[in-house]
Structure 1
Amino acid sequence: MPISTPWRKKGRADHAIGRSRGGLSTKINAPIDQDGLPLRIVLSPGQASDKAAVSVLLEGLPAAQALIADRGSDAQAIVDLVRRRRGEAHIPTQSDRKIQRTVDRELYRKRNLIERYFCKLKHFRRVATRFDKLARNSLAAVLAGGSA
């Protein structure tokens, strides 16, 4: 066989499968608009941090007035990225931080839109159990499930 065969070995980047505490898993990252619809969807390995996906998710999107995220995205780099895009980050700080940021409670409550989107997505068995081996096939299932 020639060296440039299309066959890939297990665990390559085209699978987006990674090891986490629960075993093999994949993370689905998505920014949601004010209507609860996804603007972009990115798959990443299960052990990858949510913070690493933020710059990829926001790249090329129009600047938003506010970015609302959970404590998992608490990083000064993300807050600075949103400020450079002329927006405001509403991300609660983790409890071990010396300087605590305040978050508008009414605005932060709108985070339920993304929770509802992912809850709806998990009703699709193919997405919830990740039957597909390749990331592109899994992403296609997520896109088909999220639009239904």
Structure 2
Amino acid sequence: MRYALTDPEWRVIEPILACKSRGVPCVDDRRVLNGIFWVLKSGAPWRDLPDCYGPYTTCYNRFVRWRRTGVWYRILTAISHRDDAQVRMIDGTIVRAHQHATCIKHVEAEGLGRSRGGLTTKIHAVVNAKGLPLRLAIAPGHQHDSLDANDMLSDMPEGGVLLADKAYDSDAIRSLVAARGGWANIPPRRNRREPICFSPYLYRDRNLVERFFNRIKHCRRIAIRYEKQAANFLTFVKLAAIRLWLRVYESSCNCGCFLGPRLRCTLLVV
């Protein structure tokens, strides 16, 4: 079945899901998850969910209930907690909002901002040296990238390396990384008076965070924002990130082959 969880992927998720011990037996969690992933990938409305996944109301209610109880956050945290790479990459990407997602009064409170392309939402992500997501957040599309950097980099590893573009070239971000004994490899802006240490050679691997955005936008529910609530849209972003991690768990050879040559050399030096 297209978009369905494979057996290895399901074995990773199954122990993390909350179990209902009393009352009427609940619907099969795997079938519900397959329905949620079908909506994520296809971008179709919940009402168009195929009958093989059960009632669409069951999938939607379970999707919202698990969001409120923090199940999606626990899954993403559990499958990414083994990451110990010293390299972090941060960036943001803009997603246009569908007209059905903008018919609300307080758009900024729901992560919507008016820019040149209309109402948009910005997805912030921190990825590791393999291009796999560690931290995710959303903000209004007109908001500057550096405003959310402090929260996104709160768990920066000791002695780590941060790769980011010029939008993150600020003294506050550089001081945050330096306070942890790390190095922010960020290209300096033209208006900087003092010289900044910057490695163009290492900066080439920053494209991994761009590749991450490219991969999650294969999910049509993320390429265009259809959700009115910011929490639901962020949940879909986390679901796409979870699916990327599950595929790595299924196919990784644990030999470091996902690391680029420049990053492997940097980690050896650091």
> What TM-score results when the alignment is normalised by the length of structure 2?
0.49
Hey, what's the Cα distance between the residues in 2 that align with 1:130 and 1:63?
36
TM-score by length of 1: 0.86
- Is 2:114 the partner of 1:19? yes
Cα drift, residue 130 of structure 1: 0.5
* Percent of paired sites with the same residue: 41
Which of 95, 114, 124 aligns to 1:29? It is 124
| 1:72 aligns to 2:163 (yes or no) | no
CA offsets, 1:46-77, max 9 Å, x none? 11111111101012453351000001111111
Higher helix share: 2
Alpha-carbon shift at residue 12 of structure 1 (Å):
4.9
What is residue 84 of structure 1 aligned with on the other side? Answer: 179
2:142 maps to amino acid: Q
| Aligned with residue 48 of structure 1, among 127, 138, 143 | 143
- The offset of 1:45, in angstroms, is 0.7
Unaligned runs of 5+ in 2: 1-103, 244-270
Change (3 A) 1:88 1:61: closer
For 1:98 and 1:122, the matched residues in 2 are separated by: 38
Q: Give the distance between the partners of 1:74 and 1:111, measured in 2 at CA.
A: 15
Structure with higher Rg: it is 2
Task: Flag the structure with more relative contact order, 1 or 2, with Cα contacts below 8 A and sequence separation at least 6.
Answer: 2
Q: Paired residues, what number?
A: 140
- The aligned amino acid for 1:46 is G
User: 2:160 touches 2:181 (CA, 8 Å); kept in 1?
Assistant: yes
Which residue in 2 is equivalent to 1:10? 106
Task: Give the letter for the 2:187 counterpart.
Answer: P
Q: 1:108 aligns with which of 200, 203, 226?
A: 203
Verify the 8 A CA contact 1:70 1:92 in the aligned structure 2: yes
- 2:196 and 2:117 map into 1 onto residues whose CA distance is 32
Counterpart Cα distance in 1 of 2:114 and 2:132: 29
Match of 2:215 among 110, 120, 128: 120
How has the CA–CA distance of structure 1 residues 105 and 112 changed in structure 2, closer, same or farther, with 3 Å as cutoff? same
Return closer, same or farther for 1:63/1:56 CA change in 2, 3 Å cut-off: same
